Structure 1
Amino acid sequence: MRTLLFVLPGLAIMALAFWAYSENYETQQSLSHVRDLQAQIGTERETLAILKAEWAYLNRPARLRDLVDLNFQRLQLMPLMPHHFAGVDQIPYPQPVLPALDGTITLSGELDP
């Protein structure tokens, strides 16, 4: 009986040690995964900054104006002017369709006198 009292705590300590070791291993693996994700996020942010800079470079007004002049015969692009747009009073909005009124009133409930 006395041996059993010494063996059971020893087995419990070994089981807890195994559990703690496996939790530590999973934690280290999760931290490594987080570090990899943060490095990937940093790389993607650098790539995004480069792409934004390239987009701004390619959309310079002077460059676009030169491209329009170069391809005017094929594209026939004209600059936008205010008279190209319609005014609010020129937009044909549909008129609402109203039901015909015949003079009767429909109640949702019936009252008893």
Structure 2
Amino acid sequence: MRSFLFVFAALAVIGLAFWAYQENYTTQAAVREARELYTEIGAAHDRLQMLRAEWAYLNRPDRLADLADLNFDRLGLLPLRPEAFGQVNQIIYPIPPILPITDPIELSSDMIDLAEDPL
């Protein structure tokens, strides 16, 4: 009986060692993948900052004004002035159409007076 317990304990130790070995490599793989993801996120942030800087460079007001002047014949773009804007009370909203009555209800003068007690 005692030898059975020793064999069982030895097998349990071997099994636990194998399990710990597998978990160690699984954890290392997860850590490696997380590092790769952090690297990709950092690269994406760098690309985003570069694109924002390019967008700001391309949308400079003096550059856009020069492009509008250069392409005036084709586009007809004019600079914005305060006179170009209207006021809210100048907007004409469409009047909603009056819908036709499709199912009229006929009323007769023979209706019972609801104020009287019917009993």
- Report the TM range for the smaller structure's normalisation: 0.7 to 0.9
Query: Aligned partner of 1:92: which letter?
Result: Y
Q: Distance in 2 between matches of 1:94 and 1:8?
A: 91
* Bigger-Rg structure (1/2): 2
Unaligned runs of 5+ in 2: 99-119
**Match in the other structure for 1:78:** 78
CA RMSD of aligned residues (A): 2.3
Query: Aligned partner of 1:88: which letter?
Result: V
Larger displacement relative to structure 2 (13-22 or 82-91): 82-91
Number of positions where the alignment pairs a residue of Structure 1 with one of Structure 2: 101
- Mapped pair 1:25 → 2:37: no
Query: Aligned partner of 1:84: which letter?
Result: A
- Mapped pair 1:40 → 2:47: no
Unaligned runs of 5+ in 1: 98-113
Q: TM-score, normalised by structure 1?
A: 0.76
Q: TM-score, normalised by structure 2?
A: 0.73
Q: Distance in 1 between matches of 2:64 and 2:44?
A: 28
**Match in the other structure for 2:60:** 60
Shift of 1:85: 3.6
Local SS of the residue matching 1:3: helix
